[in-house]
Amino acid sequence: MALHLPFDATYLSLPDRFYTRQPATPVSAPSLIAFNHELADRLGLDSGSMTIEEAAEIFSGNAVPETATPFAQVYAGHQFGGFSSQLGDGRALHLGELATFAGRVDVQLKGSGRTPYSRGGDGRAWVGPVIREYLMSCAMDALDIPTTRALAAVTTGDPVLREQGPLPGAVLTRVAASHIRVGTFQYFAARSDKDALQQLTDYTIRRHYPNAKGPAGLLSAVMERQASLIAKWMSVGFIHGVMNTDNVQIAGETIDYGPCAFMDTYHPDTVFSSIDHQGRYAYSNQAPVTHWNLAQFATSLVVIMPDQDAAIEEFTAIINRFPELYQKAWLKAFAPKIGLQPNETASDLVQDLLGVMANAKLDFTNTFAALDETAKTSPEWHVKWRAAGPEDTLWQRTNPHVIPRTHKIEEAIQAATSGDYAPFHQMLKAVSAPFEPLSAFMLPPTDFEKVHQTFCGT
């Protein structure tokens, strides 16, 4: 193959009970939708001589590179508060790891067929969720928010049966710092498998947090990254939609773009996920849920501590620091959006503006991108803000003009379902340059275009 992928797999140094080795299920007629050459360059891959046909074969799973060792990871997780003792990669396979300029990463195929963890599913993906994750992850990367990233998207030539009927199948290639989750720790903790849990803890520290001192240090480091990540989500109006512990990545990246969305009209209680009937993962609940998820991580780590009573006391003190950490991260993310440094005045002004936006049903992204327009919608707030001496160049370069709006994603998916990928590529170009005004992707949806629910990426 023209594209050389120098894979290894340090995760396979862990015991066999961490994963299952198996090949991808072949597909009949793979065809390339998109390949992320910029990401390939960042990974140190020379993709210039790779043909479209070669890319389709590799990233559908049909042609496995010689260096690859495909495997599926096992994990557990709390799903909407209820614990499932065994989950895992039900439709994904890791090809291996790459040692890059920026650090080690996993390369994973999503939609590559059944695994022992499929729980009755077909292990496949259809083109809609693949396009959604590609657009979302590229947008988040362009917004400088830690995220898994899309390297390639391929159609398979095989239909996938869903409630809507047969849909075109697809495979996404995802790159992540790793796919270790809170749920990975929970899997072994639930089995009181101290040996495996200790090995996982040591491996995670070596790979992601080499300066962390033991489980307490790991917990603190993960908590700090999660606080920063969620604050950045909030600052762009992003709603993950399914913040189960199996979707919380230890390295601190956004992972698993299922029923996710960026808000149009601002309201703190906004929910998009079709299965989140109680609003557990509403916009305003994302920080409290993260706090809860981190407590589950701490509970898993207690299992390997020699003095568990003392560990519970120590870990509880660590977890109790989350609200303060998050508030600092929140202010650090939001203060530049109104052109101020993080301080009490900035905090008050942001909170007041969010209140104005909720009451007036203003668009989240467009309001921040054109703050002087608040003189029309809320003259009082505008006067207070201007009195605080905001730096115009700061808020103007901080606030995006373009986000992957849900109604535009749905338009791209509908077109792709019929074999037309032009809207996808147009939107991909727009969300990859979010600070450049592009009117076609800046307008909020009309009442007719509004999407009120999003669905899991299966």
Catalytically active residues, by annotation: 246
Tokens of 435: 């600070």
Cβ proximity of 141 and 147 under 8 Å: yes
d(CA 329, CA 334): 9
- CA 48 vs CA 30, 51, 314: distances in Å: 20, 8, 52
Contact present, 394 and 339 (Cβ < 8 Å): yes
Between CA 436 and CA 137 the distance in angstroms is 18
- Give, in order, the Cα–Cα distances in Å from 343 to each of 331, 334, 384, 391: 8, 11, 15, 14
341: tokens are 């440094």
* Angle, vertex CA 191, rays to CA 186 and CA 192, nearest 5: 95
- For 198, 203, 250, the CA distances from 311, given in Å and listed in that order, are 15, 20, 20
| DSSP track, 262-297 | E-SB--TT---BTT-TT-TT-GGGHHHHHHHHHHHH
Q: How far from the centroid of its chain's Cα atoms is residue 46's Cα?
A: 26
User: CA angle 246-267-436, nearest 5°?
Assistant: 85
Contact in structure between 92 and 110 (CB atoms under 8 Å): yes
What the block records as the tokens of 252 is: 């601190």
Helix (H, G, I), strand (E, B) or coil at 298: helix
Do 121 and 90 meet the contact criterion of CB atoms below 8 Å apart?
yes
Query: What is the Cα Rg of the chain in Å?
Result: 22
